A and B are shown apart, each in its own frame.
Chain A
């Protein structure tokens, strides 16, 4: 056991492509980082940005969204919707002080088990470098006592 930081990653996968890619990676016994917890959606277009925010606020260090390659969506063009949401979501997250690299969109077809495995491992390493997100973890510390203003230099108020 090493004591390096092990990030918790939530992965949202599309039923028709990337979930099967992960299945393929599994049946082919490819090795990839075990940090990702997969949640299967019918389509990446089903991904409500709420899912990502909920994951991050509840302890995930990163979120991976995977879908079919552009032009290959089972529902014709829903993965483009996922792409647009993802790009706007990253901008909103940046405004909240969250590194946009903590959320990643990956296209992987059902045949690309190797790509899925490689992308997952690469993402885990990237989030590992960013460190824990631990959203709101300090909250308990000041539940009872409020923050006290302590100016950098305290000077007497002239009488």
Chain B
């Protein structure tokens, strides 16, 4: 009997699933070596089918997406119970990713913005309810939690696979490894490891030339013309998140002419991603007086979003002060 495989999406965009399919013919190896028992985006399965499984009967579960509502939380706990190996797959599950930026606002504001702002005509102020009575019975929709949480803040996680989405060649390598483990040809890395990524920084993989240079202003990349194709972007005054970000993507964005935005999460040994980036940005500022430094910093219009674009929910502070409060 083939070992069982599951994949789930919680608060995510679906890009992780596409990245898995982007492994091309490697996906056939998954089918040849695993019995896919649960993968809502690719096949029909019901939650009660999973509930009926024996504990620990799924060998490998790739869980992508953060925990945004009670449905996400329920499935996270359920899959933890049913899986031998639970992988936080992709940036959302590892550190909250873009959905985690919702932690900058109280959840009530988020609902209000979505359902009743200038772009949404809602004169009768109709809001979604979590339960509603119909003749057939009571209907439920999932309830939003106060904050987006990475998977690790809800259940015990065996491995972390960063990236938004994880690079397909890295996914293929991890699939190969797990197949080897199943066949007894290889051993699993220690629990808690980051898999499918490097242990250095994006800068380490970046081919752009780095000199010890200082900058007099920060600029958005679209305001720099032309961008030097061979010189470090940070040295050109473009806030590039490479110095704090884990390697593993072959510096894909800087190679393509765009700044690193940090989707591979904190580099090895970094406790707080934003703090490391604050240090990195500060080190290139060529000014010694508070006035001049502040003037240069004005070039970063959204400092919090810049340094915590992918990592807010997984950072030390996790959320805005207002978002922590339970309202009403």
Q: How large is the interface on B (under 10, 10 to 19, 20 to 34, 35 or more residues)?
A: 35 or more
- Give chain B residues whose Cβ lies under 8 Å from the Cβ of A138: 324-326
- Supposing A50-B316, A84-B285, A88-B303 touch, asked if A151 and B127 sit within 8 A by C-beta, the answer is yes
Contact in complex: A149, B321 (CB < 8 Å): no
- Chain B CB within 10 A, most for which of A56, A84, A138: A84
Q: How large is the interface on A (under 10, 10 to 19, 20 to 34, 35 or more residues)?
A: 35 or more
A3 within 8 A of B: no
Selected from B144, B303, B324, B325, the residue in CB contact (under 8 A) with A92 is: B303
CA distance A153 to B116 in the complex (A): 12
Q: Which residue of B lies closest to A139 (CB)?
A: B324
Q: Which residue of B lies closest to A53 (CB)?
A: B316
Contact in complex: A54, B126 (CB < 8 Å): no
Contact in complex: A96, B282 (CB < 8 Å): no
Contact in complex: A83, B144 (CB < 8 Å): no
- Give chain A residues whose Cβ lies under 8 Å from the Cβ of B227: none
Q: A83-B290, A96-B304, A135-B317 are in contact. List 10 more A-B contacts (CB 8 A).
A: A50-B271, A53-B315, A84-B293, A88-B281, A92-B304, A98-B317, A135-B324, A146-B69, A146-B144, A155-B125
- Chain B CB within 10 A, most for which of A56, A89, A146: A146
Give B contacts to A, CB under 8 Å: 69-70, 73, 104, 107-108, 111, 124-130, 132, 143-146, 271-272, 274-276, 278-279, 281-283, 285, 287-288, 290, 293-294, 297, 300, 302-305, 307-308, 315-328
- Chain B CB within 10 A, most for which of A70, A91, A94, A147: A147
- Give chain A residues whose Cβ lies under 8 Å from the Cβ of B328: 150
CA distance A15 to B281 in the complex (A): 25
Give A contacts to B, CB under 8 Å: 48-50, 52-54, 56-57, 70, 77, 80-81, 83-85, 87-89, 91-92, 94-98, 135-139, 141-142, 146-155, 157-158
| Minimum C-beta distance from B71 to chain A (A) | 10
Contact in complex: B290, A48 (CB < 8 Å): no
Contact in complex: A95, B304 (CB < 8 Å): yes
Contact in complex: A70, B288 (CB < 8 Å): yes
Q: Which residue of A lies closest to B142 (CB)?
A: A146
Contact in complex: B125, A153 (CB < 8 Å): yes
- Give chain A residues whose Cβ lies under 8 Å from the Cβ of B307: 92
- Supposing A50-B276, A87-B293 touch, asked if A56 and B126 sit within 8 A by C-beta, the answer is no
CA distance A92 to B239 in the complex (A): 15
CA distance A83 to B276 in the complex (A): 15
- Give chain B residues whose Cβ lies under 8 Å from the Cβ of A146: 69-70, 73, 143-146
- Supposing A142-B326, A147-B143, A148-B130 touch, asked if A53 and B272 sit within 8 A by C-beta, the answer is yes
| Minimum C-beta distance from A127 to chain B (A) | 15
- Give chain B residues whose Cβ lies under 8 Å from the Cβ of A94: 304
Contact in complex: A87, B290 (CB < 8 Å): yes
- Supposing A138-B324, A149-B108 touch, asked if A85 and B143 sit within 8 A by C-beta, the answer is no
- Give chain B residues whose Cβ lies under 8 Å from the Cβ of A149: 107-108, 111, 127-130, 143-144
| Minimum C-beta distance from B133 to chain A (A) | 11
- Give chain A residues whose Cβ lies under 8 Å from the Cβ of B294: 87
CA distance A136 to B146 in the complex (A): 12
- Chain A CB within 10 A, most for which of B127, B278, B279, B290: B278
A to B CB contacts below 8 Å, 16 in the list = A49-B279, A53-B315, A56-B317, A87-B294, A88-B282, A88-B303, A92-B303, A95-B104, A95-B302, A96-B104, A97-B320, A137-B324, A142-B146, A146-B70, A147-B327, A154-B129
Contact in complex: A53, B111 (CB < 8 Å): no
- Supposing A146-B73, A151-B125 touch, asked if A85 and B278 sit within 8 A by C-beta, the answer is yes
Q: Which residue of B lies closest to A54 (CB)?
A: B316
Contact in complex: B146, A147 (CB < 8 Å): yes
CA distance A136 to B103 in the complex (A): 12
CA distance A147 to B316 in the complex (A): 22
CA distance A69 to B317 in the complex (A): 30
| Minimum C-beta distance from B258 to chain A (A) | 22
